[in-house]
Structure 1
Amino acid sequence: MPSSPAPDVVEAALARLDLDTKAGLLAGQDMWSLPAVPAIGLRSLVMSDGPIGVRGTRWSPEDPSVALPSPTALAATWDPGLAHRAGQLLAAEARRKGVHMLLAPTINLHRTPLGGRHFECLSEDPVLTGRMATGYVRGVQGGGVAVAVKHFVANDSETERFSLDVQVDERTLRELYLAPFEHVVTQGGVWAVMSSYNGVNGSSMTENHQLQREVLRGEWGFDGITLSDWGAARDTARAITAGLDVAMPGPKTVYGQALATAVRDGRVPEEAVDEAVRRVLRLALRVGALDGAEVSRRQGKGSPATHGGDLAREIARRSFVLLKNDDAVLPLRQPDGLRRIAILGDAAKDARVMGGGTATVFPPHVVTPLAGLRAALPREVEIVHAQGADPRAHLAPALHGFTLRAQFHDGEGTVLADLPQPDGKVQMFGSMPTGVSSDRLRSARISGTFTPDRTGEHTFAVSGHGRLRFTLGGHVLYDAHLAPESDDPFLAVMSPSEERLTVHLEAGRTVEVTLDHVPTGRDVGEGIPALSFGLGHRPPTRPDEELLREAVEAAARADVAVVVVATTEEVESEGFDRTDLKLPGRQDELVARVAAVNPRTVVVVNTGSPVEMPWRDDVSAILLTWFPGQEAGHALADVLLGEAEPGGRLPTTWPAEAEDCPVLDVRPTGGVLRYEEQLLIGYAAWQRGRTEPAYWFGHGLGYTEWAYEKAEFTPGTPGSDVLGTLCVRVRNVGSRTGREVVQTYIESMDAEVSTSSATPLRRLTGFATAQAEPGQSASVEITVPRRAVEAWDTATGTWRTVTGEHWLRTGRSCVDLRLDTPITVLSS
């Protein structure tokens, strides 16, 4: 941990504050900030959601944000240095937007692939999660911007997330779920930690004295602030006593005036308030919001808007995982007779570049797979696109052919804001556009023009809660009230009710469109403004069977068929867990039928987390692109055409079928979710089970081949935190330059004795990337921490070294292991 900055400055500022001001500093003044105190040189501390970008304090496209690939994509690079560069970019973006703290990264684990925010977390493995998160944290904080890692702790599912209690044994909690947080505190020096909604072992996390005070602050030496997830703080005295520093959001919160009253009533000692305020002032000093010390903020070359796209593109292609590549169908080569490509699938034209929920940002542009390939391929290569299958249960927001604006009005009809609207979806949570406040807002409007590109029956959808009036070409087509379908206020905003209608339009004839909305409410919970309504559109569409037949015919005539399959925000989003791992709609059928007519079928899987792939044995290649961010299409073209190799390795195990997964329970029973599987999640569980997954943790192919030649272990200093260093030499035995992710796992030599053991067979202990030209070798050093051979001893409440003979097993995945290095572990 770095030492606390300028304690004299902090103490001098604290001494000048009265009780009410101190209590007010621990409560949000609004959705995204803490109050300023000009008398002591303290400016308002501003926060923003991440993790793929910096949305800022406005949930609107008026100030676009660079959109990087999803956290699962970032973790798939297995490169903490790349995560560090992503953090540097986000720090520059935060400074541009006046943001002092990024509410990211999410370092909960992939306990089950059904987890709704799986895409927003990094990995199923605590070592990979901790190291990638630490790179991210150091990158952001090196730019003078704080991060708040979340959600502390065991917030691994969305069902009943506001109230569920996780029951988990101490060893499992220490070795799995706390481990990434410990790493970013002790190795990354993180400045803030967000406490989650859920409880752990009977205590709400915002009131969990053991985990917040004894473990986080006491054992790990954390000197930053703890803040609640939005609305998670529920009791004034219990929260402050348990070590929660800041209750968000405001102005209605259990801190502020309620906290000052609790001190005066004798329920809370003022020293507890001082302790929390001291940490807030320390954070303000670190990010340059408190006068009295210089803050170093390294500036990158250019602004995020000018160079962010390059990094987004690099991260995306480095994250793509090539799961299979039969007959080396990839990369596609024009000299090999490539004259016609069929690009199939709804997501080829309308890319899914991010997950749903509070991770949403508004990028300056999105490059679709279709656009990326058209830009990269020479004109003589014909590209044919067909939708094939519609994955959506709801209509996509109005986009192609529309030119729209959004207006917001008060009760007198005065325009509070008038903004360009990139599509037909207005969705705001926690904030409104500049000039708009929830107390003044009474109605909103989407208006503009639509020029159809085809004649026929066009389907429109209006969505929202409240009164909706839709006018097309001067005719009122819908005027009614819509009620929410869910009692969950978050889901009501993120997935509003929808009504459809159909109208005949002529191609090329422009019509005016207007959707007026009078919402029934403009808040979610206490003081959290929200607005969600929209206009969806689907052009004249043939029946599903005809769409499939068109795609199959296009594939049959093509030299290669590229099928892009995807989930939607209706499947992967914050606020709910998944019910299965199937691709929505008839996408599986699309792939199967295309593969039957074209032996060179490449499937691009555009999802943030695992999906079933029943056709995987029938296609030539599978490329996993996660949610790839704003440069999706350019990165895809780079990899498909061989300008770059797919650099990713799986950060989580992919099952063949959901029923095979060792852990599927996300639904509490009586408010309690029991982690009965203990240490056996992810690849550790698969290795102890009877069924193999489709693809193992760590798996991923490149465009070259590697030989693992040698591994030598050098012991560390006795008694230190480092067990030793493993030096691994690999050789590129292929025909082109490549990058290899070298992975080392530790395994006790007697681990195979009992296959029913509740202890993992082997665990990831370290990794490094090697790069070499054809025929050349490269050496990497992998540090083996002592923690790799330690287990939590519940009886003594300490870490115990597992002595004896072990293997360091090194290779390309958790099962593709090429080199075994014996080591003897002695007690520390």
Structure 2
Amino acid sequence: MKYKELIAEMTLEEKASLMSGKDFWQTQDIERLGINSIFLADGPHGIRKQAVAADKLGLNAGRPATCYPTAATVANSWNTELGEKVGEYLGEEAIAQKVNVLLGPGVNMKRNPLCGRNFEYFSEDPYLAGKMAASYIRGIQSYGVAACVKHFAANNQEERRMSIDTIVDERTLREIYLTAFEIAVKEGKTKSIMSSYNRLNGTYTNENQHLMNEILRGEWGYKGVVITDWGGTNDRLAGLLAGNELEMPTTGGETDQEIVEAIKSGRINEEVLDECVDRLLDLIFTTEKPFRRPHVEFDVERHHRVSQKVAEESIVLLKNEGNILPLKFGKKVAVIGDFAKDARYQGAGSSIVNPTILDHTMDCFEESGIVSIGFEPGFERYGKKNQKKIDEACELAKKADVILLYLGLDEATEAEGLDRHSMKIPENQIELLDALHEVNQNIIVILSCGSAVEMPWISKVRGLLHGYLGGQAGARAILRVMSGDVNPSGKLAETYPLRYEDSPSFHHFPGNEASVEYREGLFIGYRYYDTADVNVLFPFGYGLSYTTFEYSDLQINKNSVSFRVTNTGDTAGMEIVQLYIGCHSKDIFRPKKELKGFEKIFINAGESKMVTIPFDEKTFRYFNVQTNQWEIEAAEYSIMIGSSSADIRLLGTLYKEGTGAPIPYEKEKLPTYYTGKTNKISEEEFETLLGRKVPVSTWDRSKPLGYNDIIAQCQYAKGGLARIGYYLIVFAHWYLRKVGRRDAANLIMMSIYHLPFRGIARMTGGVVNMPMVDGILMIANGHFFKGFSHFLRERRKLLKSRNPKSEVVG
């Protein structure tokens, strides 16, 4: 241990106190030993340090900070150098705002297009997500502060996220859902990791010995700190034994006392606590160092320009019929769509950034050189139909050469705490598009949203630019692409299916009441669509340019692949070259192709460049569930160089010696997995893959409600008051949506409806403790008077323990 002598000076109570927060955003301090508090803040794409005091929880406004494009956007750049640059600027702003730990980036896989938090995650591919995350981490930590990679692990939906049990086989867990974290730990060297809310195969992640000790600390050699997601503690002692150092937010000392009593009784060895304290002290002391230097404010304008550069390189050109883009000089354009006036530039929830500057499309036309003849909103932002706005937009469209139509998803649709209900753009926007198409067919759609959407309307547009969520400078960046000042170079980091029903997890998202079964296994995203031969709208890795590229001269050796790329157009541009690997052996089921390398290169018109992509430890590996380790199958492998997963330009083969591991599967028992058509897997076949029975996926309504049951289950409660409370919550949610207060309605779903009863204690900063929750549960379970008196009695005890000299009344 690094701080053995310091730890020896601490009392048991002091050591235990460090294991949970001082308040909602700070760690505990021990003044007599020179141990200071450190500050943690949300920050996947910008610092969200709340302007209110640190002892207040909630989605309050943060202090002004640069709002960079979200992770889903920057992933489309496929540029790790750019990711590192974003990280550096985030690190600089963290120093300016006195933030020690930045809670990001998020690297959870985009298992399903409807996950409400997909805008915060990089990709459906673990290799791309991991490489981008590692670049962010290197940038952030270059300033001496810590990144905190989240949410570890298999947290791929928002609905019931604090109680859901993710059922996934070991190979899928390792290859798909842990690989990005592995890269973040080994290559990014992240100083902290946030555990997720969910259970993983029956055990909460921060208590999961297999996940936390065997894999994270054992196999990966992780020496950093594990922090719970806010209110994510179930059993604090089990978490401590699994190496979970920091519980956030504070519990008012309640769980600290549990640790003290467990050590005094011999249930836990004090050395376990000492090791956790040692790791936390290292995080505290190393992230304090940058703040010993004189305080320096960051350059707001310079950071804004960087945000614009990042957005420009992340925009994806999806359609360009007749080269309608870039816009020809002198073309008169009509600007239509509410998102043009008020840009949609970030998601909702804990990642909301209060931007230092905010560009809007209508304010940026003069410098773009594009001639706008006017603006009409065309539709109501939150979906309400308005024929007058459509008519006014059509009148403007008749006078224009080209329509710039800004469509997308509103802020309340993509948010933390709830998933989307469909992949569709709101109907009132489609009605507008249909009407505009009747009067002017030269339509360019600019999409603003952080996740995949269906586009049955795409035949009615000639141009399609996807800006994703481009941060505070995204509106200007899009205009620079449309004017031709910037050649688009982004490519999709996720597949766009033709319709939601085509997605592999369609039948098992968001799961049933108690669990979600990952029956599709390895086959998510392009791994499924390519292997099962399912047509898609836009494949993984797809994106157009204003120039063209030719690939040639493939050379393969045992360590790398090399090839030539030539810019055959008349415009300088950037191309993202992608390496995919496919195994010829049929002994072990595998996807048809998997991304194993990529590079983004700038090439002038007429110029050629040789590109070399090295093979690494992940290129040929698979996880063998029989040997319980990574193995290589002896076989011929296709070496594919593509412009997207569906556009393979060069193809070769390489024989790779194997590690001689036994075949882990009986092929005849897993026939569907060997075809890759895993969108409909029987329970029997999934259980064969798992090696065990799947748990019951519905709530047991015969049992009394307990700590880990969610408030929504009050609809089945024996206590009439609890049932009334449930219907009041449902009514409040309905009413708030009805009157247009969708953010408040969403907050009810996120912070109340899906909250486990234990969360009442874990999320209130010690105002309510677990004995008081016992009283609430008694009431819910039909024992009103007993529960109410128990609640009041425990409240008196709590207040008296904090202020023993005062008399507690009530």
Q: TM-score range by the shorter chain?
A: 0.7 to 0.9
Instruction: Render the CA deviation track for 1:206-241: whole Å, top value 9, x for unaligned.
Output: 110110011100010000001111111121221111
Instruction: Render the CA deviation track for 1:530-560: whole Å, top value 9, x for unaligned.
Output: xxxxxxxxxxxxx712211221221221011
> What does 1:56-75 correspond to in 2, within 5 Å?
56-58=49-51, 60-61=60-61, 63-75=63-75
Higher relative contact order (CA 8 A, sep 6+): 1
User: In the alignment, residue 539 of structure 2 is paired with which amino acid?
Assistant: W
Percent of aligned pairs with the same residue?
Answer: 34
Instruction: Render the CA deviation track for 1:786-805: whole Å, top value 9, x for unaligned.
Output: 32211111111011102211
The residue that corresponds to 2:535 in the other structure is 692
1:385 matched to 2:375? The reply is: yes
User: In the alignment, residue 792 of structure 1 is paired with which amino acid?
Assistant: F
The residue that corresponds to 2:268 in the other structure is 268
Q: Would the alpha carbon gap of residues 304 and 91 (structure 1) be closer, same or farther in structure 2, given more than 3 Å must change?
A: farther
> What does 1:639-678 correspond to in 2, within 5 Å?
639-664=481-506, 665-678=508-521
**Aligned partners of 1:295, 1:138: CA distance in 2, in Å?**
19
The residue that corresponds to 1:570 in the other structure is 412
1:287 alignment partner, SS class = helix
- Higher strand fraction (1 or 2): 1
The residue that corresponds to 2:619 in the other structure is 788
**Aligned partners of 2:233, 2:105: CA distance in 1, in Å?**
20
Instruction: Render the CA deviation track for 1:328-382: whole Å, top value 9, x for unaligned.
Output: 1111121xx41x211111111111110011011100221122222244236xx34
The residue that corresponds to 1:733 in the other structure is 568
Contact 1:746–1:764 (CA under 8 A) maintained in structure 2: yes
User: In the alignment, residue 186 of structure 1 is paired with which amino acid?
Assistant: K
**Aligned partners of 2:228, 2:170: CA distance in 1, in Å?**
23
1:579 matched to 2:459? The reply is: no
Contact 1:746–1:762 (CA under 8 A) maintained in structure 2: yes
**Aligned partners of 2:557, 2:190: CA distance in 1, in Å?**
31
User: In the alignment, residue 311 of structure 1 is paired with which amino acid?
Assistant: V
**Aligned partners of 1:295, 1:230: CA distance in 2, in Å?**
25
1:710 matched to 2:553? The reply is: yes
Instruction: Render the CA deviation track for 1:306-347: whole Å, top value 9, x for unaligned.
Output: 31101110111111000011111111121xx41x21111111
Contact 1:345–1:563 (CA under 8 A) maintained in structure 2: yes
User: In the alignment, residue 250 of structure 1 is paired with which amino acid?
Assistant: T
Instruction: Render the CA deviation track for 1:641-692: whole Å, top value 9, x for unaligned.
Output: 0111112100000112112222223333240110000001000111133531
**Aligned partners of 1:152, 1:65: CA distance in 2, in Å?**
27
The residue that corresponds to 1:822 in the other structure is 653
1:109 alignment partner, SS class = coil
User: In the alignment, residue 288 of structure 1 is paired with which amino acid?
Assistant: E
The residue that corresponds to 1:454 in the other structure is none
**Aligned partners of 2:9, 2:365: CA distance in 1, in Å?**
62
Q: Would the alpha carbon gap of residues 330 and 653 (structure 1) be closer, same or farther in structure 2, given more than 3 Å must change?
A: same
Instruction: Render the CA deviation track for 1:139-176: whole Å, top value 9, x for unaligned.
Output: 00111110110111000001110100000000000000
2:615 alignment partner, SS class = strand
The residue that corresponds to 2:606 in the other structure is 775
> What does 1:423-438 correspond to in 2, within 5 Å?
none
The residue that corresponds to 2:402 in the other structure is 560
Contact 1:236–1:262 (CA under 8 A) maintained in structure 2: no
1:189 alignment partner, SS class = coil
1:102 matched to 2:102? The reply is: yes
1:804 matched to 2:796? The reply is: no
1:780 alignment partner, SS class = strand
**Aligned partners of 1:280, 1:682: CA distance in 2, in Å?**
37
**Aligned partners of 1:761, 1:295: CA distance in 2, in Å?**
50
The residue that corresponds to 1:172 in the other structure is 172
User: In the alignment, residue 353 of structure 1 is paired with which amino acid?
Assistant: Y
For these two proteins, the number of residue pairs brought into alignment is 651
Report the Cα offset of residue 633 of structure 1: 1.6
1:605 matched to 2:597? The reply is: no
The residue that corresponds to 2:470 in the other structure is 628
Contact 1:70–1:627 (CA under 8 A) maintained in structure 2: yes
- Higher helix fraction (1 or 2): 2
> Of 16, 21, 31, which aligns to 2:9?
16
User: In the alignment, residue 271 of structure 1 is paired with which amino acid?
Assistant: E
Contact 1:389–1:590 (CA under 8 A) maintained in structure 2: yes
User: In the alignment, residue 580 of structure 1 is paired with which amino acid?
Assistant: S
User: In the alignment, residue 322 of structure 1 is paired with which amino acid?
Assistant: L
**Aligned partners of 1:31, 1:763: CA distance in 2, in Å?**
41
> Of 341, 344, 347, which aligns to 1:355?
347
Contact 2:585–2:635 (CA under 8 A) maintained in structure 1: no
> Of 362, 373, 378, which aligns to 2:365?
373
TM-score normalised over the length of structure 2: 0.78
1:740 alignment partner, SS class = strand
**Aligned partners of 2:650, 2:536: CA distance in 1, in Å?**
23
**Aligned partners of 2:657, 2:251: CA distance in 1, in Å?**
56
**Aligned partners of 2:302, 2:257: CA distance in 1, in Å?**
45
1:316 matched to 2:307? The reply is: no
**Aligned partners of 1:734, 1:298: CA distance in 2, in Å?**
51
TM-score normalised over the length of structure 1: 0.76
Report the Cα offset of residue 295 of structure 1: 9.4
**Aligned partners of 2:550, 2:383: CA distance in 1, in Å?**
47
The residue that corresponds to 1:619 in the other structure is 461
- Higher mean alpha-carbon deviation, 629-638 vs 595-604, is at 595-604
**Aligned partners of 1:304, 1:14: CA distance in 2, in Å?**
40
Instruction: Render the CA deviation track for 1:241-275: whole Å, top value 9, x for unaligned.
Output: 12211111014366323322221222222111101
User: In the alignment, residue 316 of structure 2 is paired with which amino acid?
Assistant: V
Contact 1:738–1:772 (CA under 8 A) maintained in structure 2: yes
Contact 1:84–1:139 (CA under 8 A) maintained in structure 2: yes
> Of 3, 25, 35, which aligns to 2:18?
25
Q: Would the alpha carbon gap of residues 122 and 568 (structure 1) be closer, same or farther in structure 2, given more than 3 Å must change?
A: same
Provide the alpha-carbon RMSD of the alignment. 2.0
The residue that corresponds to 2:41 in the other structure is 48
The residue that corresponds to 1:205 in the other structure is 205
Q: Would the alpha carbon gap of residues 784 and 86 (structure 1) be closer, same or farther in structure 2, given more than 3 Å must change?
A: same
**Aligned partners of 1:15, 1:750: CA distance in 2, in Å?**
57
**Aligned partners of 2:641, 2:583: CA distance in 1, in Å?**
14
Q: Would the alpha carbon gap of residues 254 and 162 (structure 1) be closer, same or farther in structure 2, given more than 3 Å must change?
A: farther
Q: Would the alpha carbon gap of residues 105 and 298 (structure 1) be closer, same or farther in structure 2, given more than 3 Å must change?
A: farther
- Higher mean alpha-carbon deviation, 701-710 vs 56-65, is at 56-65
- Higher mean alpha-carbon deviation, 10-19 vs 774-783, is at 10-19
Report the Cα offset of residue 187 of structure 1: 1.3
1:593 matched to 2:435? The reply is: yes
Q: Would the alpha carbon gap of residues 369 and 656 (structure 1) be closer, same or farther in structure 2, given more than 3 Å must change?
A: farther
**Aligned partners of 2:514, 2:652: CA distance in 1, in Å?**
46
Q: Would the alpha carbon gap of residues 310 and 166 (structure 1) be closer, same or farther in structure 2, given more than 3 Å must change?
A: same
2:194 alignment partner, SS class = strand
Q: Mark the runs of 5 or more structure 1 residues left unpaired by the alignment.
A: 1-6, 395-542, 716-723
- Higher mean alpha-carbon deviation, 52-61 vs 739-748, is at 52-61
Instruction: Render the CA deviation track for 1:2-55: whole Å, top value 9, x for unaligned.
Output: xxxxx65x2332222211111111110101110222333322111000111011
User: In the alignment, residue 599 of structure 2 is paired with which amino acid?
Assistant: A
Instruction: Render the CA deviation track for 1:447-475: whole Å, top value 9, x for unaligned.
Output: xxxxxxxxxxxxxxxxxxxxxxxxxxxxx
Q: Would the alpha carbon gap of residues 173 and 62 (structure 1) be closer, same or farther in structure 2, given more than 3 Å must change?
A: closer
**Aligned partners of 2:109, 2:254: CA distance in 1, in Å?**
30
**Aligned partners of 2:295, 2:128: CA distance in 1, in Å?**
28
Report the Cα offset of residue 783 of structure 1: 2.0
Report the Cα offset of residue 750 of structure 1: 5.1
Report the Cα offset of residue 569 of structure 1: 2.2
Report the Cα offset of residue 714 of structure 1: 3.2
Contact 1:729–1:778 (CA under 8 A) maintained in structure 2: yes
User: In the alignment, residue 31 of structure 1 is paired with which amino acid?
Assistant: F
